[in-house]
Amino acid sequence: MEDGFSLIFFIRWLHVLSGVMWIGLLWYFNFVQIPSMPKIPDEQKPAISKVIAPEALFWFRWSALSTVVFGVLLAGMNGYLVDGLLIGINTEVARDTMIGFGMWLGLIMAFNVWFVIWPNQQKALGMVAVEADEKAKAARTAMLFSRTNTMLSLPMLYAMVAAQNLF
């Protein structure tokens, strides 16, 4: 195996591994934790909000960042970073369009994680002191952007896999 190929493989593996953790946690929050919270007795909710959620959010946000970092490295090493970011407009190559679509969805989702979901989750979980009405508003905002990311994850995953396998 050539050194360049093995490094690209390693970076791709880290990109995929980080992405699995990120999207897995996203789906856990939206398909398990959020729907289950109303069913949990009030005296047990602090176990989620004080222990599980902060830990899961730590891995959630850092796996989002590592997915983006390894993805940008991978695109640069494979020579399609600019073509992908331009969504193939400059090349008119379907693979560049597809990978670019996935890249942009991933970047939007990562932005949502770091600049909308995480700051609002800190308020909702009491990590940042705010009034009760602002805490409720923050919880709703975090949930809505998390749901948005869940919906964006489907076309993002499709685009990433299709770019690697259809073209």
d(CA 129, CA 123): 6
Count the domains in the chain. 1
pLDDT tens for residues 83-133? 999 999 999 999 999 999 999 999 999 999 999 999 999 999 999 999 999
Find out whether 127 and 102 touch, Cβ atoms under 8 Å: no
pLDDT band at 2 (very low <50, low <70, confident <90, very high): low
pLDDT tens for residues 41-80? 999 999 998 999 999 999 999 999 999 999 999 999 999 9
Q: Which domain holds residue 132?
A: 3-165
As a whole-number percent, the residues of the chain with pLDDT over 70 amount to 98
pLDDT band at 1 (very low <50, low <70, confident <90, very high): low
* Percentage helix, strand, coil for the chain under 3-state DSSP, each rounded to 5: 85, 0, 15
d(CA 31, CA 2): 42
Mean pLDDT for all residues in the chain: 95
pLDDT at 116: 98
